Amino acid sequence: MGDLELLLPGEAEVLVRGLRSFPLREMGSEGWNQQHENLEKLNMQAILDATISQGEPIQELLVTHGKVPTLVEELIAVEMWKQKVFPVLCRVEDFKPQNTFPIYMVVHHEASIINLLETVFFHKEVCESAEDTVLDLVDYCHRKLTLLVARSGCGGPPEGEGSQDSNPMQELQKQAELMEFEIALKALSVLRYITDCVDSLSLSTLSRLLSTHNLPCLLVELLEHSPWNRREGGKLQQFEGSRWHTVAPSEQQKLSKLDGQVWIALYNLLLSPEAQARYCLTSFAKGQLLKLRAFLTDTLLDQLPNLAHLQSFLAHLALTETQPPKKDLVLEQIPEIWERLERENRGKWQAIAKYQLQHVFSPSEQDLQLQAQRWAETYRLDVLEAVAPERPRCAYCSADASKRCSRCQNEWYCCRECQVKHWEKHGKTCVLAAQGDRAK
């Protein structure tokens, strides 16, 4: 893998320097598509850099050229587009696009950016270079984690099965729902990396984390519901690497990556001196936090020994008097990207959707062919396989897989029998994914 390189250093710098924010109206346009492709290349290169541990130029370039705030703004802009414009497009009855991939690229854009941020935010200097936009990113992560908790109360993430009568736009809506779950899990990791910098965060950011959103209590709820775990047929399954995996009985006591992210974030927010000075331990907060004691087993402490300090903190908390809510007058910065974008586009959602229907999402056959060619160059299979977190798994039984669906090239199977059994679920998305190939 060390010889596999997607971008040369000079190319990466050109792509990073060219990053900019786009108005909601221009999402899906030719210039926006070019930036989306560039972001995907940077994303894959950043994962390759982290995997082979030979320096991480993408992270350094983003800091050097001050582009982390641009990524945060683009992330929130596409989130707003998905909430305000995408539903309008889906409600247009006579809109039956020949190919939904141009819209899918915009829907997928949020996942691309949050994945890149998850990769680079591991480094504290990236968090520091976000400057004031870290407030907006904290709010973004809070929105995603709140949805994750709410969804876990309704039975977990939606399944990817489609009905026989659904049209391409309805299938795209279902894919967007499934994508939201993965995006929320990435947001959890980004939030944990922000808490790693708790000693250098501004007072406004600390107040946002601890007072405005009370993230320690939200993280306790996440641990309680654990939406990345589920029971299917009496077997424990965990969501990892974009799919559900059955966990062997001998591995069920092993701490998952996502559980680990929650525990580390809680440790940072509750035990750092800076956070302790700002967090008001009300009776509600005390009741929520003391729920953690039931999870702090010897097996968990063996895997994360530092949590012994958290256990001691909770033992002391149980004997401590609670505090009334603080009413100090504090001048604070507030996040501004979401409110600014909403103010600039309020009352224009229908007009933006109409413009994009006519000029962006109804491309000619020739435009589709050019786009398909660019997508094929961007999503090289050798690179995608190199950045995969593990060996492919069968989409039906989760065993090691060596055979790929020849039509869409997305799903893997261990044998022909599993592919046939999975076709009822996979068929619709396979047809949708294959549309890009037919446009070549």
Each residue's pLDDT tens digit, 143-177: 999 999 988 755 555 555 444 556 777 888 888 88
Domain identity same for 285 and 367: no
In a domain, 122, yes or no: yes
Cα-based distances in Å from 164 to 91, 167, 171, 426: 19, 9, 10, 12
Mean pLDDT of the chain: 84
Domain identity same for 37 and 17: yes
Domain identity same for 136 and 25: yes
pLDDT over 70 percentage in the chain: 85
- pTM of the complete model: 0.83
Give the residue with greater pLDDT, 119 vs 383: 119
Q: Which of 220-224, 410-414, 419-423 has the highest mean pLDDT?
A: 220-224
The per-residue pLDDT for range 322-353, each reduced to its tens digit, is 777 666 556 677 889 999 999 999 999 999 99
In a domain, 440, yes or no: no
Domain count, the chain: 3
Under DSSP, the state recorded for 394 is -
Domain identity same for 152 and 5: yes
Question: Does 30 score more than 60 pLDDT?
Answer: yes
Order of all β-strands in the sheet with 235-240: 229-232, 235-240, 243-246
Instruction: Show the tokens assigned to 399.
Output: 């065993």
Domain identity same for 183 and 207: no
For residue 1, what pLDDT band results from cuts at 50, 70 and 90?
Answer: very low
End-to-end, the C-alpha distance of the chain in Å comes to 29
Give the residue with greater pLDDT, 30 vs 78: 78
* CA gap 152, 154 in Å, rounded: 5
Domain identity same for 213 and 291: yes
Residue 144 has a pLDDT of 96
Residue 56 has a pLDDT of 64
**Mean pLDDT, range 181-197, rounded to an integer:** 95
Domain identity same for 101 and 70: yes
In a domain, 395, yes or no: no
Residue 130 has a pLDDT of 93
Domain identity same for 171 and 219: no
What DSSP string describes 77-130?
HHHHHHHHTHHHHHH-TT---S--HHHHHHHHHHHHHHHHHHHHTTSHHHHHHT
Alpha helices in 290-397 (DSSP H): 298-303, 307-317, 337-345, 349-359, 365-378, 381-387
Question: Does 385 score more than 60 pLDDT?
Answer: no
Give the residue with greater pLDDT, 425 vs 315: 315
Domain identity same for 208 and 84: no
Q: Which of 284, 302, 328 is the last residue of a domain?
A: 328
Question: Does 42 score more than 80 pLDDT?
Answer: yes
Domain identity same for 348 and 224: no
* CA gap 187, 121 in Å, rounded: 11
Question: Does 409 score more than 60 pLDDT?
Answer: yes
Asked if 81 and 106 touch (Cβ cutoff 8 Å), the reply is yes
**Mean pLDDT, range 202-219, rounded to an integer:** 93
Q: 232: which strand partners?
A: 235
Q: Which of 310, 328, 346 is the last residue of a domain?
A: 328
Q: Please, which residues have CB within 8 angstroms of residue 282's CB and are 6 or more apart in sequence?
A: 322, 323, 324, 325
In a domain, 319, yes or no: yes
Residue 162 has a pLDDT of 47
Residue 406 has a pLDDT of 75
Structural domain boundaries, residue 286: 202-328
In a domain, 337, yes or no: yes
Question: Does 199 score more than 50 pLDDT?
Answer: yes
In a domain, 313, yes or no: yes
Task: Pick left, alpha or beta for residue 242 (phi over 0 → left; psi -120 to 50 → alpha; otherwise beta).
Answer: left
In a domain, 394, yes or no: no
Q: Which residue has the tokens 């809070």?
A: 142
* CA gap 82, 74 in Å, rounded: 12
The per-residue pLDDT for range 83-127, each reduced to its tens digit, is 999 999 888 877 777 778 888 889 999 999 999 999 999 999 999
Residue 440 has a pLDDT of 43
**Mean pLDDT, range 19-40, rounded to an integer:** 93
The per-residue pLDDT for range 230-239, each reduced to its tens digit, is 888 888 998 8
* CA gap 216, 290 in Å, rounded: 11
Sign, Cα dihedral of 112, 338, 129, 199: negative
Q: Determine phi and psi for 91, rounding to 5 degrees.
A: -85, -10
Give the residue with greater pLDDT, 98 vs 417: 417
For residue 35, what pLDDT band results from cuts at 50, 70 and 90?
Answer: very high
Instruction: Show the tokens assigned to 216.
Output: 């320690």
Residue 154 has a pLDDT of 59
CA 62 to chain CA centroid, nearest Å = 19
**Mean pLDDT, range 206-218, rounded to an integer:** 94
Question: Does 434 score more than 80 pLDDT?
Answer: no
In a domain, 180, yes or no: yes
Domain identity same for 220 and 145: no
Question: Does 293 score more than 80 pLDDT?
Answer: yes
* CA gap 115, 113 in Å, rounded: 5
Domain identity same for 190 and 45: yes
Residue type, 405: C
Residue 331 has a pLDDT of 66
